[in-house]
Structure 1
């Protein structure tokens, strides 16, 4: 069938008002009904025009209905002259560019409070380590491209000496049961209840992404994502995960929502940029009002991506547990690229944590170091100045390009040997020397989290690039 030929005049002829409802209707129909006849498309558009209230919230026609019912006019937004209140932790060790990005975000008319964690460094929109509380609005780049990127740690009652004494076995498990990057997927993907989420049916973008998400389940991304065996040391009797003090074998994973999250971020950032145009220095901070169709749709899609990221980690850990022939004693996990509805100073706000760990009182989390430095099992202290947040890792000391230029393979091999770490994959941009000192970062956030235990990497699997 020929491609749909639809003009603005066609919509005016059937009664559409000469406002943005025409351009929105054109975009929706040319995108989702491009192989339908013009007659069929016009019948559908007449139905929406006759009763827009009926289609409010609909995955396909909701945006057209919103425009017909008189949505807010798109207009350029100005930044406030002053910043919302904020606190920076470890300020002397954070680059000026990262602080500048936070300062710009704090001037958004929707911003109510902010914070920057001690692992902070420059990113897009919000800096990595940035936390921003906004009123009734969500910033796609404030969440990040890898929506729901998270940590997950499983503890096993296995003698840590086995990691060295039976190294080939553990190397083989990671080589066989973990997949990384754009092209590696499991030959037999497992099923997951996450795919029963109605958003995969109701939101056209998610419907298109479902098959790819299914194939990528249980895989990890490139860059700094990893799955590793290491030694867990639990410090005290009084811990939230009910494991006695001592040393254990641990499996630690770091990854996010794969292609699903990346495509959600791309599409809704595009929509946000159109709906809330901002000055050049703030263009990556465009937001979606949560009382709009696109804002509600992004919120649903973001939460689905978070659930999918969690399902990916659970699949990874399930495969490894089966290969080990053991059940974990405990599991600790947390998101760090996400937005939550939380009460701040008596008001419900949207708290974005881009590369920051939730640290509400008694909430558990994982803060990793590098491939040769310890990670930390932590319990949040509920510090209001940090908006109940902590760092999500050590943070980068060198950009990826600078790391590749200044670190050699021989230097990397020596550091790995000195620390007794076996590395499978990874480029020079992930060398330990490219990261800040995690012990210093932890010392800068003693008022944010309490350390419950440590994780020392021993066998590390990353994308081979």
Structure 2
């Protein structure tokens, strides 16, 4: 018998609303009723739609029923924060500014908060601070994930003598100029092919339908702010069974960027929805959440995961172009999100873990923690520390806002730092100068109980956006690059 194939049109034909419940129903029925006749499946789904409350306890249909049960209309009553809030550890507290601490203390008072931690690279952001980790009970906070959903690191390690970085600098400079585009408005005239653009969410979620065209043209582009693609020297300390790369020196390409305009639009839309559903005190307004039992929460979850996969695809497009230019396949690729929410277990409990500018560091999980355009990045393996909710920092973290960096760091000082470390910079400005960042080595010392260091990446040829930073650009930057645009003191 042929396998069941059900479409969104079929479900809309029996009255299903234009919502994520359509995608949910399609997936569940194709999995659990794959050999049933279409007309029989549609009859079952019609019954669920007619009386969803009768199916809430059903092991399969219950999930569909939850999306169909009418939700109570939000009232005007302000939700109160808990008095003291949950306790949470602070890693590297000596160099975390007060703004980030205050934001984390506010997040800890949310009624849905279960556990949290503040990473040593933390600085103030919008809602949850950059470097903030928050586990919640069946709730997702759009601004706890951030605007640049799925912003991530990706490292490809090539079995090429890293001495070539000095011998063929012009080649590597030219390659970086060809493999991607930088900036908030950057689009390719000819779209890349990738399976992520065929995802059903683009057809089934109303918001995403209007974002598909631009997302396709931005596939493989990079953001502004602190986003980059760079060639460098990779040093592996010893053969680790998880990393699987022998000790030695290699050539590597490291990229940092996220989900571009797609993620920004998802974040801003669903933050507005969350604020309409839950009115919180002013200091916590940007921490409004969506329950995963709600249609809006289910829709955001699907859209967030799509944006994360899209961000990953952007990196893969870039790295595949680099590999083609080098004429080699990488020995190993290491990558991780750091603006995302995951369904995880924490101390035996099901939770939603938000890592806004934090690296997943579960036991044996690989990740990349970058420094700056002259400081090394660290290849790490998580220790699965419960105290940090299985998390580590996502970088060095800013010690100066962009405005402060522009006002206090000279072009001469930047050039001296680049020359001292043998770095060729394409683009990049004073707002991203090394002096604007904390000392990555001190940050790593503050989290030795969270991760093991397996190797380092030393930048040699760095490409960034390089667009001049002006005060009026602050809001525009924030719309598209979350951890790139969320800075303290501006």
TM-score (structure 1 length as normaliser): 0.86
Match of 1:53 in 2: 49
Match of 2:477 in 1: none
Match of 1:394 in 2: 396
Note the C-alpha offset of 1:340. Answer: 0.4
Match of 2:417 in 1: 415
Q: Is the 8 A contact 1:52 1:69 kept in 2?
A: no
Q: Is the 8 A contact 1:229 1:249 kept in 2?
A: yes
Note the C-alpha offset of 1:287. Answer: 0.6
Residue in structure 1 matching 2:107, options 100, 105, 108: 105
What are the residue-to-residue correspondences of 1:107-122 with 2, within 5 Å? 107-122=109-124
Match of 2:34 in 1: none
- Could you list the per-position Cα deviations for residues 53-95 of structure 1 after superposition, in whole angstroms to 9, with x for gaps in the alignment? 3698xxxxxxxx9798342543321100011121110111111
What are the residue-to-residue correspondences of 1:121-140 with 2, within 5 Å? 121-140=123-142
Does 2:401 align with 1:406? no
C-alpha spacing 1:271/1:51, structure 2 compared with 1 (3 Å): farther
Note the C-alpha offset of 1:437. Answer: 0.1
* 1: CA distance, partners of 2:364 / 2:412: 43
SS at match of 1:384: coil
* 1: CA distance, partners of 2:437 / 2:121: 9
* 2: CA distance, partners of 1:306 / 1:449: 23
Residue in structure 2 matching 1:314, options 316, 319, 337: 316
C-alpha spacing 1:303/1:112, structure 2 compared with 1 (3 Å): same
Q: Is the 8 A contact 2:71 2:294 kept in 1?
A: no
SS at match of 1:79: coil
- Could you list the per-position Cα deviations for residues 91-126 of structure 1 after superposition, in whole angstroms to 9, with x for gaps in the alignment? 111111101100000000000111000001111101
Q: Is the 8 A contact 1:148 1:256 kept in 2?
A: yes
Match of 2:345 in 1: 343
Q: Is the 8 A contact 1:356 1:390 kept in 2?
A: yes
Note the C-alpha offset of 1:249. Answer: 0.4
SS at match of 1:334: strand
The gaps in structure 2 that reach 5 residues or longer are 1-16, 19-45, 53-65, 468-490
Match of 1:143 in 2: 145
Match of 1:242 in 2: 244
Note the C-alpha offset of 1:197. Answer: 1.3
- Could you list the per-position Cα deviations for residues 371-423 of structure 1 after superposition, in whole angstroms to 9, with x for gaps in the alignment? 00000000000000000000000000101111111111111111101111000
What are the residue-to-residue correspondences of 1:227-376 with 2, within 5 Å? 227-376=229-378
- Could you list the per-position Cα deviations for residues 27-69 of structure 1 after superposition, in whole angstroms to 9, with x for gaps in the alignment? xxxxxxxxxxxxxxxxxxxxxxx9993698xxxxxxxx97983
SS at match of 1:87: coil
* 2: CA distance, partners of 1:293 / 1:318: 37
What are the residue-to-residue correspondences of 1:55-204 with 2, within 5 Å? 69-71=70-72, 73-74=74-75, 75-204=77-206
Alignment coverage as a number of residue pairs:
410
SS at match of 2:210: helix
Match of 1:19 in 2: none
Q: Which runs of 4+ in 1 moved over 6 A?
A: 65-68
The gaps in structure 1 that reach 5 residues or longer are 1-23, 26-49, 57-64
* 2: CA distance, partners of 1:55 / 1:182: 47
* 1: CA distance, partners of 2:186 / 2:70: 46
* 1: CA distance, partners of 2:464 / 2:71: 50
Q: Is the 8 A contact 1:52 1:66 kept in 2?
A: no
* 2: CA distance, partners of 1:239 / 1:121: 34
C-alpha spacing 1:149/1:329, structure 2 compared with 1 (3 Å): same
Q: Is the 8 A contact 1:396 1:435 kept in 2?
A: yes
What are the residue-to-residue correspondences of 1:19-38 with 2, within 5 Å? none
Match of 1:59 in 2: none
* 2: CA distance, partners of 1:260 / 1:73: 28
C-alpha spacing 1:194/1:67, structure 2 compared with 1 (3 Å): closer
Match of 2:430 in 1: 428
* 1: CA distance, partners of 2:339 / 2:49: 34
* 1: CA distance, partners of 2:129 / 2:449: 21
Q: Which moved more, 1:173-182 or 1:105-114?
A: 173-182
Match of 2:448 in 1: 446
